[in-house]
Amino acid sequence: MKSEIMVSVCVITFNHEKYIRKTLDGILMQKIDFPIEIIVHDDASTDRTADIVREYYEKYPDIIRPILQTENQFQKKIPAFQNHVMPVMQGKYIAHCEGDDYWTDPNKLQRQVDYLESHPDFIAVTHNVEYIDENDEPYQGYQDPTWSKMEEREMTINDAEHRVLIGQLASFVYRNIWKNLDSDFMNEYRKSTSMNGDQKISLVLLLNGRVWRMSEQMSRYRKSFSNGSYNSRMKGKNLTGRVSDGMYQAISLAKYFGKDLKYNDAFDDNHQKALMLYLKNRTKENREILKYVYNQHPNHKRAVLKSIKYLVSIPLNKLKRKK
């Protein structure tokens, strides 16, 4: 008799020929006392990613479950996780690792599952990650300390209201809540396109239960600007309008669970960022985005007063315009 799957590990990949072996090896090396499945969704890669996934499937047919697209779902605006991966997940728990990230601690999955098994009042457990670049070297740019250096503690809805995620996606292990969410909520979830996947999953978990954060770094997050990655698509863009929309979408999602999100400080911070981007680069696009962010702010008087206070507090050289 086949054992029930304890963890469904979801791997979303596209053009990760250089990295996908490390991703899959990091999952397969886990020292665990329970069965898992690895669901690999390849979004019609134009390199050898799909061939490598097939190779691993041939070696581990009882563990690897490939979903190999022939047409790119992202271009068709079809969410891979929700439409293709979620319906086939069998695990009691869900974990994630995108095709350019990888797990580094062979005890990671066992530790996280053990925590959830012994703490039924918690819905998820995450941990810190190491930042690396495209060449597996330590990333030299900005590293979000809430992903890499957070102390061990419980994450709360207050974190969400300050736009702090429960962790980076490769650190998530959580109870399979998706099968219990109704179609109306899932339709709203699908329409929340101004939030990326890890933002939405993080929010849904905080809205549905308690989340514990471990302090150890047990996986590596690749800050990549190539291969059609999220970072490459967003590099150099003024995202403050998208952030405003994302907060309103989050507020709408929270209402399904009877929660009222208060994003006051986050709206202030986003308006100040939009203002700074315009003052440094006074393009028509930045001006229009600033107007939009201001109009989206729930308290215009507060937005103006907070921005004046912010501008007075910063050195003049930070306001220098780009030529």
pLDDT of residue 42: 98
pLDDT of residue 34: 97
Which residues have a Cβ under 8 Å from the Cβ of 91 and sit 6 or more positions away?
5, 6, 7, 8, 36, 37, 176
- Topology annotation, domain 7-234: Spore Coat Polysaccharide Biosynthesis Protein SpsA; Chain A (3.90.550)
Extents of the domains making up the chain? 7-234, 263-319
pLDDT of residue 314: 77
State the chain's maximal CA–CA distance in angstroms. Answer: 71
pLDDT of residue 229: 60
pLDDT of residue 1: 43
Parts of the chain with a pLDDT under 50: 1
Global confidence as pTM: 0.91
Say if strands 7-13 and 36-42 run parallel, antiparallel, or are unpaired: parallel
Q: Is-contact 133 27, C-beta < 8 A?
A: no
Q: What are the φ and ψ backbone dihedral angles of 129, each rounded to 5 degrees? A: -130, 160
CA separation for the pair 296, 245 (Å, rounded): 8
Question: What confidence tens digit (pLDDT) does each residue in 44-93 have?
Answer: 999 999 999 999 999 999 999 999 999 999 999 999 999 999 999 999 99
pLDDT of residue 29: 98
pLDDT of residue 318: 62
CA distances from 187 to 106, 181, 202, 251 (A): 37, 10, 17, 15
**Amino acid letter at 282?**
R
